[in-house]
Amino acid sequence: MRSDTIKRGVERAPHRALLYATGITRKDLDKPFIGVATSFTDIVPGHVHMRGLERFIERGISAGGGVPFLFGVPAICDGIAMGHKGMHYSLASRELIADTIECMAEAHCFDGLVLLTNCDKITPGMLMGAARLDIPAIVITAGPMSSGRYKGERLNYGDCYIAAAKHKMGEISAGELEAWEANACPGPGSCQGLYTANTMACLTEAMGMSLPGCGTALAISAEKQGIAFNSGRRITALIEEELTTRKILSAEAIRNAIRVDNALGGSTNTVLHILAIAREAKVELSMDVFDEISKRTPHITNLLPFGPGYMEDLDQAGGIPGVLNVISKSLESNPTVSGKDIKVVAREGKVLDREVIRSVENPYHPEGGIAILKGNLAPEGAVVKQSAVYPEMMIFKGKVRVFESEEKATEAIVEGKITSGAVVVIRCEGPRGGPGMREMLYPTSFIFGMGLATKVALITDGRFSGATQGLSIGHISPEAMEGGPIAIVQDGDEISIDIPNRKLELNISGEEIKNRLRKWKAPEPKIKEGYLARYAKMVTSASTGAVFKEE
């Protein structure tokens, strides 16, 4: 066992002395040492209930014959960080989490890992760390939140952005807004729709890194507690079987995850995260693969933010095993932490509600949720959630309004300065320029709330929340800070968007683009000290997952 490095031999007497100080016994030295990475915190709704799940994990590890050792990792709530300086740190924290997993597991020679996680950057960060280490690991995503209720209607977190816009327009009172915000999030769990947190939980299950049912089982449920216990017990078997992370996170598993992502119509942020996970797993992957798979994968669920369904509906309809069952013919064989091949999990899956999880013959859309656009505005690619775009906006042409930050764009939208036919361009918000590639949920929500969702497009080198809907195109690569074409777009230019043909074009001549680029000068970094300044120097393009440079 890896842990023998710190517990075997005469020269390890000092190490054993320190281990005894933690309360373990001499008999425990014969057992596998299991690191339990937990992202528990009192400020993130998706994590506040993790103390109870930690107990079930510990009990499971003990039942399986292992010794659990808990340690913490950072957890940032994208919703609380949204719309201010805090959002710069969200994506950047993903690399910190992966590094923390590596540091703790290597320094203490853990034989295996149990990863208790939830929410946007934490889950991919933990998967990246496990893939980098390539030791046995199992993931428990802590589950989605139940729906809120107000005046007999279901509410979700994303409704509060719409309510804020309606209040600013005078459509609802301050008291009504307060009622919405008081009832939208009734308790622990990741936000109720198919936003980034829940999309990543579903894809973790689809890749085989969590037990069947884990991705959709609600945060406050006996089922989630049972999954936590069984995951803890299962890790010792993975160690005995020598089933390490990269044996599960294969090229086949990555492609299966992309298939499920497109079938669900998940968040565009998964493109960043799957690229980053694949890199740590030593799997070659490009953005083009997402588009290739999208064209062959029908969109079979219709969940928030664009559709009416909640995660609780998907769970009750059969969860990810049900989705896998529907698309089983396209799946590739791959092992999972359950000990079953993913094709067996798919075969055993059942669809209990054919409206929530449709058949491939009767999909919501014939293509998957994600489309990759290219053109002279985005030579390396851009990402759009096409399943959340209104049909009349799939092909769009408009005049540009350029903004150098999210705040300036939001201000213009709220003040009514954006009118029908506009293409709002927000730049200098990419991985380097942001830094941290902030999510643009405020401007997209105000566009929707002010009735412009079928009249205005939004384009950015930043990214979007999984709660975004409408014609919102992100991840423009290269970004403005790197001198990509988005850097030289001017007010009054015309941009053409053609999602069916995957085109994104700035309608000026190639010669004019070259002339503008020759005159362009990189702007001053927005943040010049601390972690974000270091992050900006090290991070790569969104087209490669916004990972750190290798050198």
Radius of gyration over every alpha carbon of the chain, rounded to an integer in angstroms: 23
What is the SS3 string spanning 169-230?
CCCCCHHHHHHHHHHCCCCCCECCCCCHHHHHHHHHHHCCCCCCCCCCCCCCCHHHHHHHHH
**Residue 144 near residue 219 (C-beta atoms within 8 A):** yes
- Take residue 182 and report the two structure tokens written for it: 């008081």
Element holding 394 (H helix, E strand): none
CA atoms within 13 Å, Cβ hemisphere of 3: 21
Sequence-distant (6+) residues with CB within 8 A of 407 are: none
Number of residues that make up the chain = 551
φ, ψ of residue 495 to 5 degrees: the values are -120, 135
Q: Distances from the Cα of 287 to the Cαs of 269, 382, 499, in angstroms?
A: 12, 9, 16
DSSP 406-423: HHHHHHHHHTT---TTEE
**Residue 210 near residue 221 (C-beta atoms within 8 A):** no
115: left (phi over 0), alpha (psi -120 to 50) or beta: beta
Element holding 240 (H helix, E strand): helix 222-241
User: Looking at residue 388, what DSSP letter applies?
Assistant: G
Long-range Cβ contacts of 282-287 (<8 Å, 24+ apart): 282/246, 283/249, 283/250, 283/251, 283/254, 284/251, 285/251, 285/254, 287/372, 287/380, 287/381, 287/383, 287/543
User: Looking at residue 354, what DSSP letter applies?
Assistant: T
Single out the catalytic residue among 465, 472, 477, 543: 465
What is the spatial order of strands in the sheet that 33-38 belongs to?
67-72, 33-38, 112-117, 137-141
Tokens 């085109």 correspond to 503
Q: Is 465 a catalytic residue?
A: yes
- Take residue 502 and report the two structure tokens written for it: 């995957």
List, in sequence order, the alpha helices (H) in 371-453. Answer: 406-414, 441-449
Tokens 């339990």 correspond to 36
What CA–CA distance (Å, rounded) separates 331 from 256? Answer: 6
CB environment 143-180: b (16+ within 10 A), e (fewer): bbbbbbeeeeebbbbbbbbbbbbbbeeeebeeeebebb
Catalytically active residues are 465
